């Protein structure tokens, strides 16, 4: 009898420790800003890999400069955030009773109030995708972070090393910082890269730019540098620009430059297969998931020195860095690439593909599981 009672106590302890609760539904609340296809790809992959996970997604309205059409999973409950929906959102969250809260930054006070409310009931993680710039505002935030940010968040999820440096400046410890926040839709772009490398022929004399027509992306520097470099090397290349924005009507017209406007991601496959080099000339890009997408698509690349994701996906084997805003420096890098033999360019394409495959959707899911503990 005593042995039986001991076994019963051990069994109850086993259950209370969670060892029989592996299949218990994990409830994840995501408080997001502007939705993007790559982030939804991560969420969908999580739901496919772990059907015991339930997600409630609160998000901002779709940006009209990038009017993505999202095909949301049937297992994903989502609500568009606006002031009028706050009561509905609160009721949904209370009924959902989240175990993990992932919050996109700290710019929305309504989101922060939810995080505060569940501080002792859920594991709260803040997304940080900015870099440390040493500006006055960041120094102030660094001073108040222990009493504000770190008092309501248990940790942070960042894209890469530049953001990890910022998180540590805010006082988060290594054990509280999770890497690999932004992951491209590897299921989509990896297939493009594989097909491209299987069917090598003459290297495409086509450069692709995928960026909004806004000042931060500095597309005029790209257009000017391309026209000069293309002329100096024999006018053999084409520049195809995809995107829309406030500066679209100020675009440079040239016989070797084509402006496609905004194109849905699922329509980009043929364009990527027919492209040779990717360029992102941004004046400031905290991360830049497009770099991961283009690496997976087996594209050699030229990036400005202000792009965070270059630290992960670009090296001397698959492309070049140029000084942001410097037309002449970008022109020189373009001329180098335009004069390379096809065999060398294909080798660079293979290196890009290899770099892109360093980070997968499975890595994102594994990190969330680490957060869940």
Residues 281-323 pLDDT 10s: 999 999 999 999 999 999 999 999 999 999 999 999 999 999 9
The model's pTM:
0.88
Return the pLDDT at 64.
Answer: 62
CATH number of 186-356: 3.40.50.2000
Residue 5 or 31, more confident: 31
Q: What is the dihedral of CA 283, 285, 286, 292, to 10 degrees?
A: -150
278-296: burial string, b at 16+ Cβ within 10 Å, e else = bbbbbeebbbbbbbbbbbb
Q: How confident is the model at residue 76 (pLDDT cuts 50, 70, 90)?
A: confident
> Would the pLDDT of 42 be above 90?
yes
Residues of the chain with CATH 3.40.50.11930: 8-183+361-372
Return the pLDDT at 8.
Answer: 41
Structure tokens given for 259 = 């402006």
116 phi, psi to nearest 5 deg: -60, -40
Residues 134-158: tens digit of each pLDDT: 899 989 989 888 888 889 999 999 9
Structure tokens given for 353 = 């593909």
Residues 84-113: tens digit of each pLDDT: 999 999 999 999 999 999 999 999 999 999
Percent of the chain clearing pLDDT 90 (strictly above)? 79
Return the pLDDT at 65.
Answer: 59
Angle at 235 between CA 247 and CA 290, to 5 degrees: 45
Residues of the chain with CATH 3.40.50.2000: 186-356
Q: How confident is the model at residue 14 (pLDDT cuts 50, 70, 90)?
A: very low
Q: 9-13, 158-162, 358-362: which range is least confident on average?
A: 9-13
Task: Give the helix/strand (H/E) hosting 242.
Answer: strand 238-242
Residues 333-371: tens digit of each pLDDT: 999 999 999 999 999 999 999 999 999 999 999 999 999
Mean pLDDT on 68-85: 78
> Would the pLDDT of 2 be above 70?
no
Residues 223-258: tens digit of each pLDDT: 999 999 999 999 999 999 999 999 999 999 999 999
Q: How confident is the model at residue 373 (pLDDT cuts 50, 70, 90)?
A: confident
Return the pLDDT at 74.
Answer: 62
Structure tokens given for 121 = 């009931």
Residue 71 or 126, more confident: 126
Residue ranges of alpha helices (H) inside the chain are: 2-16, 37-49, 86-96, 109-117, 136-144, 149-152, 161-169, 186-198, 219-232, 269-273, 289-296, 310-313, 327-338, 342-356, 361-372
Give Cα separations from 2 to 15, 199, 289 (angstroms).
20, 72, 61
Mean pLDDT over each residue of the chain, to the nearest integer: 90
Return the pLDDT at 197.
Answer: 97
Q: How confident is the model at residue 24 (pLDDT cuts 50, 70, 90)?
A: low
**CATH top-level class for 8-183+361-372?**
alpha beta
């Amino acid at each position: 009898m005593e042995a039986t009672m001991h076994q019963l106590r051990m069994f109850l302890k086993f259950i209370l420790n969670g060892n029989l609760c592996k299949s218990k539904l994990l409830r994840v609340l995501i408080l997001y800003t502007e939705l993007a296809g790559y982030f939804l790809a991560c969420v969908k992959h999580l739901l496919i890999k772990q059907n015991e996970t339930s997600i409630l997604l609160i998000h901002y309205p779709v940006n009209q400069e990038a009017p993505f059409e999202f095909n949301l999973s049937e297992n994903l409950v989502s609500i568009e955030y606006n002031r009028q929906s706050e009561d509905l959102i609160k009721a949904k969250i209370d009924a959902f009773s989240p175990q993990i809260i992932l919050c996109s930054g700290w710019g929305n006070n309504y989101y922060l109030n939810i995080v505060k409310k569940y501080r002792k009931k859920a594991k709260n993680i803040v997304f940080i995708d900015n870099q440390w710039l040493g500006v006055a505002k960041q120094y102030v935030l660094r001073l108040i972070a222990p009493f504000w940010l770190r008092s309501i968040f248990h940790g942070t999820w960042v894209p890469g090393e530049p953001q990890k440096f910022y998180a540590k400046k805010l006082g988060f410890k290594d054990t509280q910082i999770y890497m690999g926040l932004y992951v491209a839709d590897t299921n989509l772009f990896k297939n493009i890269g594989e097909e491209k490398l299987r069917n090598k022929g003459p290297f495409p004399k086509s450069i692709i730019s995928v960026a909004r027509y806004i000042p931060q992306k500095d597309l005029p520097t790209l257009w000017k540098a391309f026209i000069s470099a293309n002329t100096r090397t024999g006018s053999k290349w084409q520049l195809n620009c995809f995107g829309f924005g406030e500066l679209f009507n100020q675009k440079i017209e040239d016989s070797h430059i084509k402006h496609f406007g905004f194109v849905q991601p699922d329509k980009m496959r043929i364009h990527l297969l027919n492209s040779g080099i990717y360029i992102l000339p941004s004046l400031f890009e905290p991360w830049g998931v497009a770099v991961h997408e283009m690496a997976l698509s087996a594209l050699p690349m030229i990036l400005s020195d202000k792009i965070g994701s270059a630290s992960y996906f670009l090296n001397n084997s698959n492309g070049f860095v140029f000084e942001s805003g410097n037309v002449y420096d970008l022109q020189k890098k373009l001329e180098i690439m335009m004069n390379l033999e096809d065999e060398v360019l294909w080798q660079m394409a293979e290196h890009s593909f290899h770099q892109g495959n360093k980070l997968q959707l499975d890595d994102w899911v594994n990190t969330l599981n680490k957060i869940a503990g």
